[in-house]
A and B are shown apart, each in its own frame.
Chain A
Amino acid sequence: MKNYKTIVLSNHEISPDYFRMRILSPGFAAKAQPGQFVMVRTELMLPTMLRRPFGIFRVGCLPAECDGLPPREYMEILYKVVGQGTKILSELHQGDRVELLGPLGSGFDLGTPGKAKLLVGGGIGLVPLFMLGEALIKRGEKVRLLMGGRTRDDILAVTEFERSGVETYVSTDDGSLGENGLVTKVLERKLGKHPDAEVFACGPTPMLSAVANMCAAHNVSLQVSLEAHMACGVGACLGCVVKGVGHSDSNPHYLCTCKAGPVFNAADLDWGKAVVAGSDCAGGGCK
């Protein structure tokens, strides 16, 4: 990992309150693993502005241009404006300076080749699943994305998943796009069809809890990508801990989301109560 002092290449609102930021990041793509994250801040903010954690959406390279611009490697984040930090980020323009720390954390394990791969994304939780889908497709796997949101505005980047070869199933709570209902309803059906599937999920805590219960009942493996409030992103502040399996008040077992995660085997976490306290993550698209 590295601290990039770099610039914004583009920053667009792609759906109400959802933004997509492309950041110049030479040498980043080769290092980033599916499910890892970055800590971003702008240099224009107040000096104390803590970085915000964001899952890596995708990496790429802009071609060289005839006016002499060389090829430019970039990475992208998708984020939702949920508080002051993300509001400030959403107001950045091309050429504005940002600092990017990453890639950080431990990402997805690609699982056993040949088993059906079910990716479950809730709202902004689809972010870390894109590179996972790409990596699985590259390995010749059959990948399905079950994408849920409250309304159609919360369904993002589905066409990009499709273009990369992922079969997508959309559901919304209000039926404004795709199937009417929760994403877990679709998952239940898919697990019935593919009893040997491996599941990868990211989304709000209630969704993850439901997915974890369902996968446990079907006895299929589940990896989840969590989000948490973070100050440092490198395991120093201990602000982002989650409860590991076997946690109790007398025998506590905390894991750092930034170091041990953000991707965990669901079996390693204590799903007894909400694993992550508070779902109003400060970072929007964050881990």
Chain B
Amino acid sequence: MSSHKEKTMPVVRPSLAVEVAGLKLKNPVMPASGTFGYGEEYAPYFDLNRLGALVTKGLSLNPKAGNPTPRIAETTSGMLNAIGLQNVGIDAFVTAKVPVYRGLQTPVIANFFGNTLEEYGEVAKKLNDVPEVNAVELNISCPNVKQGGIVFGTDPSAAAQVVALVRKALSKPLIVKLTPNVTDITVIARAVEEAGADAISCINTITGMAIDVKTRQPKIANRTGGLSGPAIRPVAVRMVHQVVQAVKIPVIGIGGIMCAADALEFLIVGAKAVQVGTANFIDPQAMLTIIDGIEAFLVDEGLTDINQVIGSLKL
């Protein structure tokens, strides 16, 4: 009976592995911060180890309550949100959430933000001491409270200042997430690269507004919110394309990815990896479908390695 051979085809599965800022990812797909909680919320729906990486909700020095409700509104091919960065704070994250990551076989990227330069620095120091956190993603789309509320990420020198400060406090790979709400994203991209960023992720949400015509009121309590979903994807692909041209560090593409083809658009213009956001809300297994879809695309195209697709844009 031992001569009975298994009837399996000698299939060579294409490699989806990529490397971003020294992080080895088994595939280029990870959640966008704020759409995946701390990971545990989606653990009942699939094995988190299937992900290229896990990105946490944005963390701050102190717990943050967030905005009043309503906080979300669906718009055509997208959604507006103004959650207000509600989070448990860095200390509660370390004691309550981090233990969950211990058995995980996939890198954990902690997203964080601050209201002042000092806060950014303090959170970075604390994250540096957490071994379960493999890399950090710096959200610079926050107003600088001490300097009149100008958003760090919209001013090249403020952006460079905060990145340099965090760089000093941290020995882990540093990804900087850029806001699209600027005139020229490449100026900011070059500034953060020079200040020591290891990678750039873009784009964050685009500021938008929606009105309830019956009540004449904004649909969300914060008046304006961040627009996400497929409505913003062409803008995001354009900006990722521009940033890839402008910097030498790797870029992670974000913006309205719903399916494998959407993810491939970003990879083709040169993103090394992608983040999936709003799609997680619609289908908790969206990222698995996207990972499987990328693999199927490679097989269809007769390719053996995802890196053959990355930056393959023909002009």
Contact = CB atoms under 8 A, between A and B. Distances in A.
A239 B280 contact: no
Interface string A230-262: 111011111111100000000011100000000
Contacts of A47: 77, 230, 258-259, 282
A239 B65 contact: no
A272 interface: no
Contacts of A241: 66, 69, 71, 86
B70 A237 contact: no
Given A48-B78, A50-B79, A239 B72 contact: yes
Given A48-B278, A237-B35, A277-B68, A101 B284 contact: yes
B100 to A, nearest CB: 14
A122 interface: no
Contact of B66 (A254, A278, A282): A254
A237 B66 contact: no
A239 B33 CA distance: 15
B278 to A, nearest CB: 7
Interface stretch (B37-45, B140-148, B153-161, B296-304): B37-45
Given A48-B231, A231-B79, A236 B281 contact: yes
Interface in A259-287: 276-278, 280, 282
B15 interface: no
Contacts of A1: 44
B73 interface: yes
Interface residues of B, number: 38
Contacts of A99: 283
A282 B74 CA distance: 9
A64 interface: no
Nearest to A273: B68
Contact of A49 (B70, B86, B282): B282
Given A48-B229, A48-B282, A229-B70, A237 B81 contact: yes
B69 A242 contact: yes
A239 B76 CA distance: 18
B255 to A, nearest CB: 13
A237 B73 contact: no
A164 interface: no
Contacts of A58: none
Nearest to A275: B69
A234 B278 contact: no
A232 B77 contact: no
Contacts of B69: 228-229, 239-242, 276-278
Interface string B265-285: 000000000000010111111
B36 interface: yes
Q: Report which residue of B34, B71, B212, B283 has the largest number of chain A beta carbons within 10 angstroms of its beta carbon.
A: B71
B113 to A, nearest CB: 15
A254 B212 CA distance: 25
B284 A3 contact: yes
B284 A229 contact: no
A229 B219 CA distance: 11
Contacts of A84: 74
Contacts of B83: 237-239
A58 B98 CA distance: 39
6 contacts: A1-B44, A41-B282, A48-B231, A237-B34, A237-B72, A239-B81
Interface of B: 34-37, 41-42, 44-45, 65-66, 68-74, 76-79, 81, 83, 86, 212, 221, 229-231, 258-259, 278, 280-285
8 pairs of A and B residues whose beta carbons are closest in the complex: A252-B65, A239-B72, A236-B37, A231-B281, A232-B281, A277-B69, A236-B41, A235-B41
